[in-house]
Chains A and B, each alone.
Chain A
Amino acid sequence: MKRLSRFIIPILVLIVGIVGFCFLFFVSTQRFRLSPEFIGAAGQPGEITHSSIAEIEDLAAEEKSFLVFVSQPDCVTADVFRAVITEFLGDHHLKILEINFSDIRGHTLAPGLKFYPSFLIFRSGELTGFLRADSNTDVEAYSSRDAFEKWLAGYVYF
């Protein structure tokens, strides 16, 4: 009996650990749907609507799930990426918010956001993912419609 317990307890601990890890992994990577107001009419192209930090704060407070394109007027760096998003929206009737980098930089809603252009994914009011202009792994998502769709599909059902 004593010898048996020497094996059973570590095995139980191991099983609980594995199950816990799997649960946390599943929860953290679970895809989700956007809040209904950010899904447009079927058959219609999606759209980018300019927003404000106050509106995004409100949406986060209401625990909405939504997408934000971070750009900046008077600058061409965001324009190539804007074209990629616009092409994507031709096939997906989503409503994407747009905000100036100068309005959101340093804000607690987007910790770690250092550069624009970027694309933020909010799930239930929390930032769950964003594109980094200084990361080699995100270059494709910035540059091609298909790669952008693939990246976004890792988080969102559409």
Chain B
Amino acid sequence: MEAQTQSHKLTLSSVVSALFGITLIILGIACLVVGLKDDSSVAELPALPAPALAEGLRGEQFGIDANIDETTIDNYLDRGDSVYRDMRMLKDPGNYEAIGGDSYLSGFVEGFEVVPYPYLVNVSGLPDAVGSTYTGPTLFTEKNSKYTANYVESMQILEDLFPKDKKIFLMCGGGGYAGMTKNMLISLGWNAENIYNVGGYWFYEGAHDVPVKVENNGKTNYHFWKVPYHSIDFNTLTKL
């Protein structure tokens, strides 16, 4: 009787051990599969064409890319090896009512995060009719194409917003702020081969448009809560 009980105990512990072992094996296989799958998804990322300038004014003056632009950016969205930045302000303080139109950000391409260029560096060269643009504090000051940090943290913030080990896709309204950002980053040591000026939101007709300006019953509303926005609190920074 005792031997039978012993035998039952043995059998039960064997079954438990076997189940435990099988569970471990299944878990191991699952981890292996997931790991392999992750590896293959990295490998599946389509290769990026090297940055090249578009034809005409778009390439020559604004540095918009020939291959990755408003018409092709949809093919390059949501890449783990890249960051996507829209360089416009939510509201530009320029007096755009003087020349018609509104000065609010009216939409953006899904995946892009807004980092206003006027907060990075002083903007110059705007027409008189627009009046002064943003004149508040900036991370850097540009003079004769040389960029000087205004705060101890300026470079660290820039490196956080535009990681040097990632591909960087830039957009704005028409390609101007994006081109200026590209020039600035290159001047401050970023690799030009990693930076693409994709161009302007106004020329985008793809499938990932996120409208912010919404007309409803003759009323205009701005859905700013949709916008992934990087704020810079200059009050917390240490002036140089």
A interface vs B, CB < 8 Å? 48, 50-52, 71-83, 86, 98-103, 105, 114-117, 132-136, 138-139, 142-143
Contact = CB atoms under 8 A, between A and B. Distances in A.
Contacts of A132: 56
Interface residues of B, number: 37
Contact of B56 (A50, A80, A116, A138): A138
A6 to B, nearest CB: 51
Interface string B197-227: 0001011000000000000000000000000
Contact of A73 (B55, B100, B175, B176): B100
Residue in A48, A51, A100 whose Cβ sees the most chain B Cβ within 10 Å: A100
A79 B101 contact: no
B164 interface: no
B100 A50 contact: yes
B174 A80 contact: no
A77 B64 CA distance: 11
A136 B99 contact: no
Contacts of B177: 75-76
Interface of B: 54-58, 60-62, 88-89, 92, 94, 96, 99-106, 123, 125-127, 129-130, 172-177, 180, 200, 202-203
Contact of A75 (B54, B55, B173): B173
A7 B112 CA distance: 71
Residue in A51, A52, A102, A133 whose Cβ sees the most chain B Cβ within 10 Å: A133
A51 B99 CA distance: 9
A50 B127 CA distance: 14
Residue in B125, B174, B202 whose Cβ sees the most chain A Cβ within 10 Å: B174
A74 B55 CA distance: 24
Given A72-B174, A80-B61, A116-B174, 5 more contacts: A77-B173, A79-B130, A79-B176, A139-B57, A143-B57
Contacts of B61: 77, 80, 139, 142-143
Contacts, number: 109
A74 B96 contact: yes
A142 B55 CA distance: 13
Contacts of A116: 174, 202
Contacts of B172: 75
B6 to A, nearest CB: 84
A134 B177 CA distance: 18
Given A72-B173, A100-B101, A138-B56, A79 B125 contact: yes
Contacts of A76: 123, 125-126, 174, 176-177, 180
Nearest to B172: A75
A136 to B, nearest CB: 5
Nearest to A131: B57
A102 B106 CA distance: 11
A83 B101 contact: no
A135 B55 contact: yes
A116 B56 CA distance: 12
Contact of B99 (A98, A105, A133): A98
A80 B125 contact: yes
Contacts of B96: 73-74
Contacts of B180: 76
